[in-house]
Structure 1
Amino acid sequence: MRALPPAHPFDDDKLKEECGVFGVTGVTDAANFVALGMHALQHRGQEAGGIVSHDPAHGFNSARRFGYVRDNFTKASLMETLPGSLSIGHVRYSTAGSKGNTQIRDVQPFFGEFSAGGAAIAHNGNITNAEALRRELIERGSIFQSSSDSECIIHLMARSLQRQVPERMKDALRRVEGAFSIVAMTRTKLIGVRDPLGVRPLVLGRIGEDGWALSSETCALDIIGAEFVREIEPGEMVVIENGEVASHRPFQPARPRFCIFEHVYFSRPDSILGGRSVYETRRQIGVELAREAPVDADIVCPVPDSGTPAAIGYSQESGIPYAMGIIRNQYMGRTFIEPTEQIRNMGVRLKLNVNRALIRGKRVILVDDSVVRGTTSRKIKEMILDAGAKEVHFRIASPPTSWPCFYGVDTPQREKLLAATMTEDEMCSHLGVDSLRFITLDGLYRAVGEANGRDPHAPQYCDACFSGEYPVEPADQIEKGFALKAAE
């Protein structure tokens, strides 16, 4: 079976999070809770999803499917095959592995049978030394079933001399470099762990008296009625069994470097990150952007939906009216068949339409979350001008994306990133707009709560896609010839 067709061209010009993870224990029919959580995390991965559950009578059971959660894990006939009070799930968008040609064997969670019993793991992030580990493991006799970097963890666990699964996992993850937030399960335990830098998110929630949940984001706790308890801390492992949560610290302490792009784009606006509302942070990004890059105009319009909170903030700070100048078609699916070149060339128009009566004769500020290749930005600009806009000014709610991410985000090769080959003025000319300004990295840091901006000697976030400063050396990529900023 093959994967879904590639995402629509409108989405191809956006950065993609790799996946979302979710787990539940201590509730009846845990897999149904997991399916709901996966649905809330669908924005983190739309390519495929999987669920593993366990109950004493039936042991471990799993289901992995391509496509949306709603199209697969809402069917009673499938969910009845996933009984038990303990379950984990995963939604996927491929970065490592067979990108664009995903096989069902690449879909998580992955399962392994050890001497201490079976275990399943779901991984969000990217292992930067996976290829070196894979070569080593294959030379020592391991047989891989997938092309995913995450499978290395299962093989490392299998080779551990520890008796208990959590201890085997600690052994395995000490060999791993890069970013990982993991939700795992044994027959009786739900396990959550974050890498020492805490690059990717993971939170803990409580369901009633005895139930617990682990999730990539707080919005998925809301959908199942769970109470948000706290974030799993960077470098922490929690083991939940019999309604009790035990905390472990298996790694050497490190200064956290949470992914700043979670605040800008990846996370849902109704989630909480680091005690801050994602929506409020994005609105504040718009405020900072208006202070840094003012321009005379008649209306402020978001590029929906990710540009909306920043556009609201820009409007509030600048005093320029906010308007829905672009309307998104909410019913445009991934599987739309584009049979002719003429239809393919319509591109963005299949998802976005300009509110012509509002735009005509206006000087328009368009607020978007990012510019990656610039292809979508050019098409949106053309649509706005075709609708009769007098001027078009782009304001971007993130700094220029000029470096690829190797920690669980799908980014193009560096030479395909517009900001890697052009200055801001050159990008403005290339896009054909009256002005183009990005928020500065200092402004972004102020928006996320760092009053003095970014400390160049001790940044609080992973901002490698903007700065080129990688907190974990991408060993596999360097082996392939990738040049770090210091080597340029």
Structure 2
Amino acid sequence: MNPDPKHGREETARSQIWDIGAARSAAAMQDDDLDGDTLREECGVFGIFGHPEAAAVTALGLHALQHRGQEATGIVTYDGARFHSERRLGLVGDNFSDAATIERLSGSSSVGHVRYSTTGETILRNVQPLFAELDGGGFAVAHNGNLTNGMSLRRQLVRAGALCQSTSDTEVILHLVAHSRRNRFIDRFIEALRQLEGAYAFVCLTNKKLIGARDPLGIRPLVLGELDGRYILASETCALDIIGARFVRDVENGEIVVISEDGVESLKPFPPQRARPCVFEYIYFARPDSVVHGRNVYEVRKRFGGELAREAPADVDVIVPVPDSGVPAAIGFAQACGVPYELGIIRNHYVGRTFIQPTQTIRELGVRMKHSANRGAVAGKRIVLVDDSIVRGTTSVKIVQMMRDAGAREVHFRIASPPIMFPDYYGIDTPEREKLLAATHSLEEMRRYIGADSLAFLSVDGIYRAIGEERRDPVRPQFTDHCFTGEYPTALTDIVGEATKQLSLLAEAG
């Protein structure tokens, strides 16, 4: 935690936030909305400079990043004279697969975005990349992350006369750049970044440059690649693989990468800090075939399973993954304990969230539309279910019951991450703390709630061992792991302000 006077006030406010949440009704745990019982992906960004088929390449890159956001997508290109923008609700393949759309996006430089809305409604005006004509030329920006002082900055900008066109925190960066009085664009951009708190990976396009930037702690990922001598920025290496590009390196925490006709320039305008990347990239968000900070995600997830098997063994006949996110950890668990691995649950990949209608009957069948028991693999057997996380627990309840209905003799549950105790404010859409099962229930209460014969989570230290890092400093760990520990690595200006307002209202009501 930050050793400054301001930190003490922040810690008090955080405790107040959680106390307010704990006082709310625990009945929220009974909410049967399966789509709420998961961690929502953040967003994915992509950019390429100087390629003759920039829009087509960007569409392919975004397709590889689709797992990071499925609500909306957009591409902005520049052809040397004009910017062109196509922003749509829905999936990349549904919006950028036809030649006519790609032809409208003329130009050799491009930025793109896939979105899951953690701030701002899912409406077209919030779809990124956002674009504005500024003094000196156009500016398009795509953002992965969340600004923890975005609302505060927005209020200040509106009071100063800014006209906001969206409800997204990303729009703040456009206004901050526009308000800067620095002469060079890059200096205006840096001045804007210095005012931001929270997590960000920006990919921006101007008349002459493609710019990438990571927050000083490197919470959200960003990589640099190269294709036919042209440089690329992307959230993950899987976006490079799909287009046959070469991985060059990770963009460092606090680094700004400026790509132009002169090549790649690296700027580091912030005081050096130890990187604190988000550990959930390894647990859940990154695609298994991506390499994050030099580590293959699939191999790390298998090691999570291996550590889990050593920490919480079980005398069972079969290891069963909860697909798809639990598969690598289940493989690692099975290899470590020498118990057979079986696909005891089959996932239906052709059911989307929009298929589940808001009626109680269909909602009760929701998990069966997404997952089906493979009776032959589990009937009469003692099984361990392996999943990557438990959020609210409602899906876990149904999965356990599904296995019992399929004839499993014993159903044990193992989670390849620590209990999620605290909400995220850096781009992951987690429920409020009172809706997190682990925040309101003991381990035994959680076990009874989901109906398992036993329940265990991977420890925080186990996470670090699997990744290959030591928790050298328990107060400032190597990764951003606040969902497990409550150790938020940055100021939470908007959140603390909201807690203060809530406490004031409660006091008045009392």
**Which deviations, in whole Å up to 9, do the C-alpha atoms of 1:403-445 show, x marking residues without a partner?**
0000011000001000101111110111111000000000001
**Selected match of 1:222 from 241, 255, 265:** 241
Deviation at 1:256, TM superposition (A): 1.2
Query: 2:342 aligned with 1:323, yes or no?
Result: yes
User: Cα distance, 1:339 vs. partner?
Assistant: 6.8
Partner residue, 2:484: 466
Q: Secondary structure at the match of 2:499?
A: coil
1:127-147 per-position Cα deviation (integer Å, ceiling 9, x unaligned): 001111111101100010000
Deviation at 1:344, TM superposition (A): 2.0
* 1:224-246 CA distance string (max 9 Å, x none): 11100000000000100016000
Distance 2:274 2:410 in 1: 45
Q: Is 2:356–2:363's contact at 8 Å kept on the other side of the alignment?
A: no
TM-score (norm 1): 0.94
Q: In 2, distance between residues paired with 1:310 and 1:414?
A: 26
Structure 1 regions of 5+ residues with no counterpart?
A: 1-7, 484-488
Shift in alpha-carbon separation, 1:16–1:267, aligned structure 2, 3 A:
same
Counterpart of 1:472, as a letter, is T
Per-residue CA deviation, residues 348-385 of structure 1 (Å, 9 max, x unaligned), is 11111010011100101000000000000000001000
Deviation string for 1:98-136 (max 9, x for gaps)? 2xxx21111111112122111100010000011111111
Query: Could you tell me which of 125, 128, 136 is aligned with 1:105?
Result: 125
Instruction: For 1:25-174, list aligned pairs within 5 A.
Output: 25-57=49-81, 59-98=82-121, 102-174=122-194
More helix by share: 2
What is the distance in 1 between the residues matched to 2:500 and 2:374? 44
- Contact preservation (8 Å) 1:51, 1:87: yes
Give the 5 Å matches for 1:70-469. Answer: 70-98=93-121, 102-209=122-229, 211-242=230-261, 244-336=263-355, 338=357, 340-450=359-469, 452-453=470-471, 455-469=473-487
One-letter amino acid matched to 1:184: C
Cα displacement string for residues 194-238 of structure 1 (whole angstroms, at most 9, x for unaligned residues)? 0000000000000012x1110000000001111000000000001
8 A contact 1:206–1:212 mirrored in 2 = yes
Report what 2:44 is aligned to. Answer: 20
Distance across 1 between alignment mates of 2:33 and 2:283: 21
| C-alpha distance in structure 2 between counterparts of 1:457 and 1:48, whole Å | 38
Indicate how the Cα distance of structure 1 residues 188 and 224 shifts in structure 2: closer, same or farther if over 3 A, else same: same
Instruction: Provide the C-alpha distance between the structure 1 equivalents of 2:336 and 2:471, rounded to a whole number of angstroms.
Output: 19
Question: Which secondary structure does the structure 2 equivalent of 1:480 belong to?
Answer: helix
Q: Distance in 1 between matches of 2:406 and 2:244?
A: 45
| Cα displacement (A) at 1:17 | 2.1
Report the CA distance shift for 1:428/1:61 in structure 2 as closer, same or farther (over 3 A).
Answer: same
Verify the 8 A CA contact 1:165 1:186 in the aligned structure 2: no
Worse-superposed segment, 36-45 or 251-260: 251-260
CA contact (8 A) 2:356 2:366 kept: no
Q: What does the per-residue CA deviation read over 1:48-67, in whole Å, with 9 as the maximum and x for residues that have no partner? A: 0010000024x100010000
Q: Tell me if structure 1 keeps the 8 A contact 2:301–2:328.
A: yes
Alpha-carbon spacing, 1:454–1:350, altered in 2? closer, same or farther (3 Å)? farther
* Secondary structure at the counterpart of residue 494 of structure 2: helix
CA distance in 1, matches of 2:48, 2:99: 19
Alpha-carbon distance in 1 for matches of 2:393, 2:472:
26
TM-score, with structure 2 as normaliser: 0.90
For 1:447 and 1:439, locate their aligned partners in 2 and report how far apart those are by CA, in whole Å: 10
Distance in 1 of aligned mates of 2:275 and 2:206: 28
In structure 1, what is the Cα distance between the partners aligned to 2:102 and 2:354?
24
Counterparts of 1:402 and 1:328, CA distance in 2: 28
Aligned counterpart, 2:507: none
The structural deviation recorded for 1:340 is: 4.5
Q: Distance in 2 between matches of 1:47 and 1:250?
A: 34
Structure 2 match to 1:486: none
**CA deviation vs aligned residue, 1:280-310 (integer Å, no higher than 9, x gap):** 0000000000000001000001000100000
> Match of 1:23, SS?
strand
Q: How large is the Cα RMSD of the aligned pairs?
A: 1.4
Change (3 A) 1:47 1:240: same
In 1, Cα distance between equivalents of 2:232 and 2:319: 40
Distance 2:409 2:208 in 1: 64
Q: Partner amino acid for 2:117?
A: S
Q: Is the 8 A contact 1:26 1:243 kept in 2?
A: no
Count of aligned positions: 470
Higher relative contact order (CA 8 A, sep 6+): 2
Q: Distance in 2 between matches of 1:167 and 1:114?
A: 14
Which residue type is aligned with residue 499 of structure 2? Answer: G
Aligned partners of 1:357, 1:274: CA distance in 2, in Å? 40
Q: 1:116, 1:163 within 8 Å by CA — same for their partners in 2? A: no
The answer to whether the 8 Å contact 2:464/2:471 transfers is yes
User: Quick one: which amino acid aligns to residue 254 of structure 1?
Assistant: Q
Letter paired with 1:300: I
Identical counterparts, % of pairs: 58
1:4 paired residue number: none
SS in 2 for 1:409: coil
